[in-house]
Structure 1
Amino acid sequence: MLEDPYKKWVISNLEKPGKSQTGLAKALGLHPSAINRVVSGMRQLKSHEVAGAVAYFGEDPPLTEVMQNTGGLTEGIVAGKVEAGTFREVDEFDQSERQRVAIPRDELFPNARQLLFDCSGDSMNDLKPRPILQGDRLVCLAYDDVEHLLELKSGMVVVVERTRDSGHFREWSVKQLELYPDRAEFHPRSTNPKHKPIVIRQDHEADDGVTVKVIALVRRVMNEMPGFS
């Protein structure tokens, strides 16, 4: 597992008078258990959380070797499955560690987290120039880490999260973005007519209890050839 480059910095600052895991969690808007997981190496600080930690500690983090490295391998976090039309119950108390795998570092965004999603279903089997098929693994950038660097544009392929019932149920799906002056449309590219686009209007307040947001930008698609198992 690739260690969080901020872990030692966090631990050393938490040892200072007046600093605590509870205080840091409150400053970042997190449950104290999340900070405990950072300290124990089971969770990494996100980029916006690092900024909050700097404000709480009053000290900038060191420029680490990991942060300077722009080549070679990094770790990807296996986030889960993308499947259009399937809402799964969210366990907010699940603190199990996600699987991590070694993948090439993204040359354009070397410090962004890379999330891996496994594709199920046929909602993108007609994407051009290359379809996304069942069994494909999507290599994505965590949108939280790059939204200040990269503007969303029409044609981007994104992972969209829809939640309902106050966030208790979640759907992750992959869509192609189309932007218009008054709305954003997230389109399936499928030969199956049951898959419909998600349309978000700028002046529209959802009244059906469903929220929609982009959580990742698809950068690469991987698959393994059969016959080796």
Structure 2
Amino acid sequence: MSGVDTVRLRALLAERKRSARDVSRSAGLGETALKDILQGRSRSPSINTLSLIAAELDVPLSEFASVDEGLAPARSRQIAPAYLPVRHRVAAGLWLSVEEYAQDFPEPPQAVVPDSRYAEWPQWLEVVDGDSMNLVVPAGRYVHVVDALEMGYAPRSGDIVVVERRRMGGHMRERTLKEVQIGGQGVELWPRSSDPKYQTPLALADADETTEVQIVGKVIGVYWSMG
């Protein structure tokens, strides 16, 4: 990465009437990620971080940053060609605070492009941590995810989905992979694991006054880490 035009970045924020904190959080980064870039505290932000910011502002990365030849261009909605960033860690049973939850992830394990069948909606990669779905997606793999909320996803039996549970008004979050099964009890979200800890379903109806449960992504591909 050879440079970030902070003046242009500030102008883009003003044009869209958004704060640096809002963009950082919506992009799945730490709350101060963009502010640190603007104020010069983050002098060498990763291409993944800048890709997420560009996608959130709906501009190509070249709009505010120059990229060294050979690096992958940013993913940006409605802009192609593009490579998908790693946006989340999906790990059943691991509750994270908002600060821990929003991490700056490494570069994708390989160049994965958006699926044209879902070109209208945001897509990204998530790294799998844990054994709740190890019979289908072992730990260490990367899943290709489409935004279930923006696409208006309707659950179908057999689909693999990303489920997010939130506690304490969203201050504690957990992301987990599950397989959709629809039966007499409605939509159930099942682990597919060899671990005895993960043998019971999570129901969307489990949401209550203290915990929200929501399908946030549909998995459309799985990739091996390239180390």
Q: TM-score range by the shorter chain?
A: 0.5 to 0.7
The 2-side partners of 1:138 and 1:75 are apart by 14
- Aligned-pair distance for 1:46? 8.2
Task: Tell me the residue number matched to 1:166.
Answer: 169
Aligned match for 1:125, one of 119, 134, 146 = 134
- Aligned-pair distance for 1:108? 0.5
Task: Tell me the residue number matched to 2:93.
Answer: 85
The 1-side partners of 2:23 and 2:96 are apart by 27
The 1-side partners of 2:217 and 2:208 are apart by 22
Q: 5+ unaligned residues in a row in structure 2: which ranges?
A: 2-7, 28-33, 39-49, 59-76
Contact kept, 8 Å, 2:204 with 2:214, in 1: the verdict is no
1:76 aligns with 2:105: no
1:76 partner SS: coil
Contact kept, 8 Å, 2:101 with 2:173, in 1: the verdict is no
Instruction: Give the TM-score of the pair, scaled to structure 1.
Output: 0.62
Q: For 1:6-46, what per-residue CA distance to the aligned partner results, in whole angstroms no more than 9, with x for missing partners?
A: x99x95x93xxxxx72xxx4xxxxx5643699998724348
Task: Tell me the residue number matched to 1:175.
Answer: 178
1:157–1:136 CA distance, 2 compared to 1 (3 A) = same
1:182–1:74 CA distance, 2 compared to 1 (3 A) = same
Q: For 1:126-158, what per-residue CA distance to the aligned partner results, in whole angstroms no more than 9, with x for missing partners?
A: 2xxxx21011111111223311xx432111100
Whose radius of gyration is greater, 1 or 2?
1
Counterparts of 1:189-208 in structure 2, within 5 Å, are 189-195=192-198, 196-201=200-205, 206-207=208-209
- Aligned-pair distance for 1:170? 0.9
The 1-side partners of 2:139 and 2:163 are apart by 17
- Aligned-pair distance for 1:124? 1.1
Contact kept, 8 Å, 1:143 with 1:215, in 2: the verdict is yes
Counterparts of 1:3-22 in structure 2, within 5 Å, are 11=12, 14=15, 21=17
Q: 5+ unaligned residues in a row in structure 1: which ranges?
A: 2-6, 15-19, 26-30, 48-65
Contact kept, 8 Å, 2:84 with 2:114, in 1: the verdict is no
1:113–1:205 CA distance, 2 compared to 1 (3 A) = closer
The 2-side partners of 1:166 and 1:35 are apart by 20
The 2-side partners of 1:205 and 1:116 are apart by 26
Instruction: Give the TM-score of the pair, scaled to structure 2.
Output: 0.62
Q: For 1:55-112, what per-residue CA distance to the aligned partner results, in whole angstroms no more than 9, with x for missing partners?
A: xxxxxxxxxxx7386xxx4231312211111111112996x76656442220211232
Percent identity, please.
23
